[in-house]
């Protein structure tokens, strides 16, 4: 007589019974040997926990079993992967789980019905990092994991500290009207999540202002990540911005590498010298700004972002758009909240405060005694055009501090460093004191003859006319040299030179 088989498994009825009993016995053994067990159904709901697992409930924030059982496992057990086991049907035989209840050695196994369909999963807690289990052979692994986790947490905290802003909007030194307006605009945009475009010459403090805007925003606790586009080779820009998937190309990190956008998630990304971004990359940047999502190099997976972009440039973006070297749609996307940072020559009334602040910082960084500026030295600095702006001013002051032991910097300590009109005037006086060359003697003698007849030479008449115009302009502007220079249609440096010639 043939042995009857079960319809579902094809196994003899006695063998099927053995398997059922074996599964039950193994389940009971695990429940007794493990620190804790739980069973989760197809909808990820917890349907049962062992007596041992109940000891973890207070650490997870639950006092009663009925408040825990019936909840979605991902909602009550931080960092669990039980939902992934159910959805994929693949077991996780050995894993380390860390949450607010501690660090545990766990197993997660899918449960299937007779037809092989996943109907849930069982989770088993084998071991925790408690000293009570020091005799376990797994304890060295647990101890090593705990140590590595602490080191990782320390590294993350240190990195977060490094990515915090060093400056606030108040760090932008100056009280001139143009600076006060810049600060007012910066405080307004700091309260929004809109993209900011900082425009200004090199050395005007664009990165400082970007950090100030971040520090004044609700993202201040998040990272501030800055990247100078001009300093990154074009071939590496895409990977630098958007990251690299694991094994994306030969030599790529097997673990992948996050890009600057991902590092700035939850905070602000500062894109300095945005005008130097290649056209091919501008379209991808536009998509990131619009969709707040990034696709790492070599990956088909799109990652969501929460990142505020602050861009800066010293170039004329509208002119670049007209020339076709910068995308118009990207420019309009960046130019939502533009702020123009003034050049140093446009706010000379801040020169004294800026110089004092820079000298204090130079002394602190170099260990030198704090220096100050004499009145003549400050007047000399005011005559320079400062094409390098505050960066150039700092360089000049630091050089002067290194080259003298005097505590008060005088004009002679700075004249050869700034190359101002005063130095040019000294050269001119020396040339005038020297004997005229022979081929000029005839011209001089002719001028004396003209003056002896009561007729002014043309250069003399022009000089007197210039002097009269300068006096009138200074009177009209109440001594404001910058306004007078604009009224006369000449550069401020030219006005200072002519004033020196007039004494």
Provide the CATH number for the domain around residue 463: 1.10.10
d(CA 123, CA 107): 6
Q: What is the pLDDT of residue 251?
A: 53
Q: Which residue, of 425, 443, 472, is where some domain finishes? A: 425
Residues 6+ apart with CB under 8 A from 316: none
Handedness of CA 16, 17, 20, 25 (dihedral sign): negative
Where does the pLDDT of residue 299 fall: very low under 50, low under 70, confident under 90, or very high at 90 and above?
confident
Q: How far is CA 427 from CA 256, 413, 434, in A?
A: 62, 17, 11
Who wins on pLDDT, 460 or 242? Answer: 242
**Average confidence (pLDDT) over 373-397:** 92
Regarding whether 365 and 262 lie in a shared domain, the answer is no
d(CA 125, CA 227): 45
Inside any domain, residue 480: yes
d(CA 478, CA 496): 16
234 CB-side CA count, 13 A: 7
**Average confidence (pLDDT) over 419-430:** 45
Regarding whether 322 and 371 lie in a shared domain, the answer is no
Regarding whether 281 and 202 lie in a shared domain, the answer is yes
d(CA 291, CA 324): 24
- Decide if 212 contacts 165 (C-beta within 8 A): yes
Q: What is the pLDDT of residue 347?
A: 93
Give per-residue pLDDT as tens, 55-108. 889 888 898 898 899 999 988 898 889 999 999 999 998 888 878 777 788 899
Who wins on pLDDT, 319 or 467? Answer: 319
Q: Residue 485's domain spans which residues?
A: 455-503
Regarding whether 368 and 328 lie in a shared domain, the answer is no
Regarding whether 50 and 88 lie in a shared domain, the answer is yes
Domain count of the chain? 4
Handedness of CA 71, 72, 75, 81 (dihedral sign): positive
Handedness of CA 149, 153, 154, 155 (dihedral sign): positive
**Number of residues that make up the chain:** 503
Regarding whether 294 and 211 lie in a shared domain, the answer is yes
Q: What is the pLDDT of residue 298?
A: 77
Is the pLDDT confidence value at 305 over 90? Answer: no
Question: Is 161 buried (19+), middle (13-18) or exposed (0-12) by CB count in 10 A?
Answer: exposed
Q: How far is CA 161 from CA 209, 212, 223, in A?
A: 19, 16, 9
């Amino acid at each position: 007589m043939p042995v009857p088989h079960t319809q579902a498994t094809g196994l003899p009825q006695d063998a099927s019974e053995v398997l059922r009993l074996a599964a039950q016995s193994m389940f009971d053994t695990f429940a007794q040997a493990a620190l804790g067990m739980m069973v989760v159904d197809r909808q990820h709901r917890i349907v049962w926990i062992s007596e041992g697992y109940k000891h973890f409930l207070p650490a997870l924030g639950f006092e009663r079993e009925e408040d825990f059982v019936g909840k979605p496992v991902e909602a009550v057990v931080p960092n669990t992967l039980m939902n992934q086991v159910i959805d994929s049907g693949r077991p996780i035989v050995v894993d380390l789980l860390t949450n607010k209840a501690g660090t545990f050695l766990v197993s997660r196994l899918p449960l299937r019905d007779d037809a092989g369909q996943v109907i849930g999963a069982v989770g088993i807690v084998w071991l925790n990092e408690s000293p009570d289990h020091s005799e376990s052979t797994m304890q060295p692994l647990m101890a090593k994991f705990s140590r590595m986790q602490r080191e990782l947490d320390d590294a993350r905290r240190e990195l977060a500290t490094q990515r915090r802003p060093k400056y606030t909007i108040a760090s932008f030194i100056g009280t001139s009207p143009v600076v006060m307006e810049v600060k007012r605009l910066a405080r307004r945009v700091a309260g929004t999540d809109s993209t900011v475009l900082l425009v200004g010459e090199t050395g005007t403090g664009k990165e400082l202002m970007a950090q100030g805007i971040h520090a004044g925003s609700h993202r201040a606790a998040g990272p501030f990540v800055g990247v100078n586009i001009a300093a990154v080779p074009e071939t590496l820009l895409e990977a630098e911005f958007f990251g690299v998937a694991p094994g994306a190309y030969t030599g790529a990190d097997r673990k992948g590498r996050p890009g600057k956008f991902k590092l700035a998630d939850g905070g602000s990304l500062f894109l300095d010298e945005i005008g130097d971004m290649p056209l091919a990359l501008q379209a991808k940047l536009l998509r990131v700004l619009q969709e707040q999502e990034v696709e790492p190099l070599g990956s088909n997976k799109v990652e969501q972002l929460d990142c505020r972009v602050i861009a800066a440039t010293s170039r004329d973006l509208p002119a670049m758009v007209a020339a076709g070297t910068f995308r118009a749609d990207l420019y309009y996307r960046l130019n939502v909240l533009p702020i123009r940072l003034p050049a140093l020559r446009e706010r000379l009334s801040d020169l004294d405060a800026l110089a004092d602040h820079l000298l204090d910082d130079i002394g602190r960084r170099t260990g030198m005694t704090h220096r100050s500026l004499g009145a003549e030295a400050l007047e000399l600095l005011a005559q320079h055009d400062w094409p390098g702006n505050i960066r150039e001013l700092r360089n000049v002051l630091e050089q002067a501090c290194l080259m003298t032991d005097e505590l008060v910097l005088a004009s002679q300590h700075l004249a050869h460093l700034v190359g101002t009109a005063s130095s040019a005037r000294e050269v001119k006086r020396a040339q005038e004191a020297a004997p005229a060359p022979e081929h000029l003697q005839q011209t001089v003698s002719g001028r004396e003859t003209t003056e002896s007849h009561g007729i002014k030479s043309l250069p003399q008449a022009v000089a007197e006319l210039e002097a009269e115009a300068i006096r009138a302009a200074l009177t009209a502007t109440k001594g404001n040299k910058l306004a007078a220079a604009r009224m006369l249609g000449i550069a401020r440096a030219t006005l200072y030179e002519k004033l020196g010639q007039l004494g």
